[in-house]
Amino acid sequence: MPTDRPPLRIGTRASPLALAQARQLRDLLAAADPARPAEIVPMTTTGDTRKGSLAALGGKGAFVKELDRALAAGDVDVCLHCMKDVPGDVPRPQGFIWAAYLRRDDPHDCLLLPAGAPRRGLADLPPGTRVGTSSVRRRAQLRRRHPGLETGEFRGNINSRIARLDAGEYDAAVLAHAGLRRAGLEHRAVEVIASDVLCPAVGSAVLGAECRRDDTVTTEALRALDHPETRTHITAERAMLHALQGHCNSPIAGHATTAPDGRVTLIGMVFAPDGSSWAHARETADRDRPADLGASVADALLTQGARTLIEAVGP
Ligand SMILES: NCc1[nH]cc(CCC(=O)O)c1CC(=O)O
């Protein structure tokens, strides 16, 4: 093993999902440059070890802060983040750069039922069905489309959530399709929920690899993995989120897509927590100014009263 090419150290949360994602990055790096190995450095964050409300976990971005410290200190060379969990209202550390956004997986949410339950879709769930999901974005949209459903707190890693579903704590659950797939549990999805019923979260199904800006070796290794269309979409969605000053538990949805003609459409929505009212904006623009598109959609939402809706939910 040549000593002048030390392995790239990938910092990650230690949850099964985060580890699966880190292995994906490690394998992509190995395929792009077989002469430079990469290794995974799992870190246990406060967010993984405690249950309860996000505020009790140390507030915004609790999942991200400890990985940031390790990257800044040089204990690791790369941190891989679910872009959905990176807050839009707190700037990233100045010395970091998003050197690669991996190609987006399916950004939709999906419905799960307890093992052995009769298979049916979201529209066929009877009134009073208890649906586990802690995200205000999902709760608001479920209530908007299906006011008879009840929703309840549902935290913890993907495997423990599914175990609790199967144990009868809830009659149904809504989780990210991409997360299920990465955890090898895609067979548990009974319905992938269309985005006009449940508009995805900003950044959903996108993994971002961050490194120190002055670390040219790692930056170059990651650049080779960047997916330009995903970068365009993330830039538009996160510009919107930033202008709305939204955090990861805000009642905000945002979804960018590219049409066959190459133009980019961004849909943004902001909800009252009970789904009784919402703001909605949809704009299309050339793909070369995605940040302007995001800012413009945010402006339209703010004009419709988005700020009041966002502030109705605490951090
Ligand atoms: N908030 C938790 C989270 N953050 C990222 C994913 C996995 C999929 C993704 O990247 O969107 C999940 C699980 C879920 O929401 O069900």
Whether residue 149 is found in the same domain as residue 12: no
The CATH number given to whatever domain includes residue 244 is 3.30.160.40
* ipTM at complex level: 0.95
The Cα–Cα gap between 9 and 271 comes to 40
pLDDT at 246 over 50: yes
Distance 201 CA to ligand 1 centre (A): 9
* 116 and 251 co-located in one domain: no
Pair (160, 213) in one structural domain? no
Handedness of CA 129, 182, 264, 232 (dihedral sign): positive
Q: Report which ligand 1 atom has the smallest distance to the Cα of 161.
A: 16
Does any domain span residue 1? no
Task: Confirm whether 288 is domain-assigned.
Answer: yes
Residues facing 42 on adjacent strands: 12
pLDDT in tens, 53-92: 444 444 445 667 889 999 999 999 999 999 998 988 888 9
- Please identify, by atom number, the ligand 1 atom nearest to the C-alpha of residue 200: 11
Residues 63 and 174 in one domain: no
- Residue of minimum CA distance from atom 15 in ligand 1: 176
Residue 92 shares a structural domain with residue 221: yes
Pocket of ligand 1 (CB under 6 A): 82, 84-85, 175-176, 178-179, 204-205
- In the reported structure, the alpha carbon of residue 204 is separated from the centroid of ligand 1 by a whole-number distance in angstroms of 7
| Per-residue model confidence as pLDDT tens digits over 11-43 | 998 888 999 999 999 999 999 998 888 999 998
Query: Domain span at residue 300?
Result: 239-307
Write down the pLDDT at residue 285: 98
In a shared domain, residues 24 and 66: yes
Residues 31 and 168 in one domain: no
Residue 294 lies inside a defined structural domain of this protein: yes
What's the structural domain count of the chain?
A: 3
Q: Are residues 30 and 171 in the same domain?
A: no
User: Both 268 and 142 in a single domain?
Assistant: no
Would you state the pLDDT for residue 4?
Answer: 61
261 is known as an active-site residue: no
3-state per-residue secondary structure call for 262-297? CCEEEEEEEECCCCCCEEEEEEEECCCCHHHHHHHH
Sign of the CA dihedral running 228, 233, 238, 240: positive
**CATH number of residue 127's parent domain:** 3.40.190.10
Angle of helix 228-244 relative to helix 290-303, nearest 10 degrees, comes to 30
Q: What is the pLDDT of residues 170-220, one digit of tens each?
A: 999 999 999 999 999 999 999 999 999 999 999 999 999 999 999 999 999
